[in-house]
Structure 1
Amino acid sequence: MVLQRTFVMIKPDGVRRGLIGEIIGRLERKGLKIVAMKMTRIDKQIAHKLYEEHVGKPFFNDLVEYIGSGPVVCMVIEGDEVVKVMRTMIGATDPKEALPGTVRGDLAMSKGENVIHASDAEEKAKKEMSLFFSPSEIIG
């Protein structure tokens, strides 16, 4: 067993559409453990840090604008190989390509508003967790 932690965020469209409970339920039914959670708004400075690998791409400004358009729910999730598990659970970035049974395949409406974010690597998860949580806010 490889116990890991990862960062997961329910994006503004997921919060707006009332999908918080549905998404958290999926995580808990999978056997994953939520060790930190908060609802917040993301300012432009944090959005730039969160999506810094996309700076200069044509969609970057729209992405920053969107992620700050409403509240988000940020979580630290713990489990066996949780980075890989979460990426499988959320599905492809474009909901049209996401398999049924995945969060995006079942719930997302468009590539631009795709309900959920999950870190794609352990190092990135550590960075993203640190943007939203201090060590004392992570329980367990």
Structure 2
Amino acid sequence: MSALEAAQAALAAEHAAVYGYGVVGGRIGTQRRAEATAAYEAHRARRDALRRTVRDLGGTPVAAAAAYELPFPVADAPGAVRLAAVLEDRVAGVYSDLVRAGRGPLRSEAAAALREAAVRAVRWRGSDVTFPGLAERV
């Protein structure tokens, strides 16, 4: 996978995460709303940075879809927490590809994004995985 392809995949995942956190925010309840808002803002910032990265690599940034299919129905706060963990796992997976494909500052940024997503996933899930970004590929 080229750096451009990996960056496009990461951008697509960030679009989906921003959408997904809209759902999370609507169902999360007041106790964890600030955490959901912070994650939403972090994904928006990463999305915007990836748009620039894709352009710098010579590509046209992939557009967000009008809507995304959720992996399961989210009707309440526990479902929102579960969705947030899934979103972070998926984002970590695409950033692991970008770490492999990227060089220099791009690789460093991808590693930072992978780490951030893994930490957020642990916070949402309450437990960790051995290899963040790779666990969902097994």
User: Structures share a fold, TM > 0.5?
Assistant: no
> TM bucket by the smaller chain?
0.3 to 0.5
Q: TM-score, normalised by structure 1?
A: 0.33
Q: TM-score, normalised by structure 2?
A: 0.34
Q: Which of structures 1 and 2 has the larger relative contact order (alpha carbons within 8 angstroms, sep 6+)?
A: 1
Bigger fraction of residues in strand: 1
Bigger fraction of residues in helix: 2
